[in-house]
Amino acid sequence: MKNIVILISGRGSNMQAILEARLPLTVAAVISNDPKAGGLATAQKHGIATRVVDHRAHANRAAFDTALSTEIDAFKPDLVVLAGFMRILTGDFVNRYRGRLINIHPSLLPSFTGLDTHRRALEAGVKVHGCTVHFVTPELDHGPIIIQAAIPVLESDSEDTLAARVLAEEHRIYSQALRWFCDGRLKITPQGTVTIIAARGAGSALVSPTFDS
């Protein structure tokens, strides 16, 4: 059974969705950079070890990443899962876990990297928005894509309503990505893309706005 460590910065809703998905893995620990992160209490209720590596206690990003990797390595994880972890990691840290570090981002990458993705999607007038699970590389939000979910952007959408609908899809696809990892079905190709071994055929297309009848 695979062993994972989850990193969070806040309430940890994606972490909670992973815990509730009953995946064939062991969550060895939940680690946060913020001692006030609400997700720590959730993890403790599930009997999971928690640790805090407060970024404010370190002089720079490199020192923080060194302390963080020390805590992570104590649990010998097969995979490190970023679930709302709001710190930019150094290249040395990312390369240490290359191929074993994944993240979920609230946009259809490569569009809208970085922050404020839902506001920017609305301002750009895109008709389809969503979320992406990807392997992490030193270039921010540009790692090999594992799975994406797309939703239509509604004329009535606000930043909050769009974010809520995207978050519901995040909870679904992150667990799926982890299941594929546990089953040994994720392969990074020489071209830097991800192949899902024995993936099902494509489903129906999402078109937004829908065609006139």
Mind telling me the catalytic residues?
105
Take residue 79 and report the two structure tokens written for it. Answer: 């995979």
Residues with Cβ within 8 Å of 14's Cβ and at least 6 positions away in sequence, in order, are: 83, 84, 104, 170, 171, 174
Residue 165: Cβ within 10 Å count: 17
Nearest to 24, CA basis, from 184, 169, 211, 212 = 184
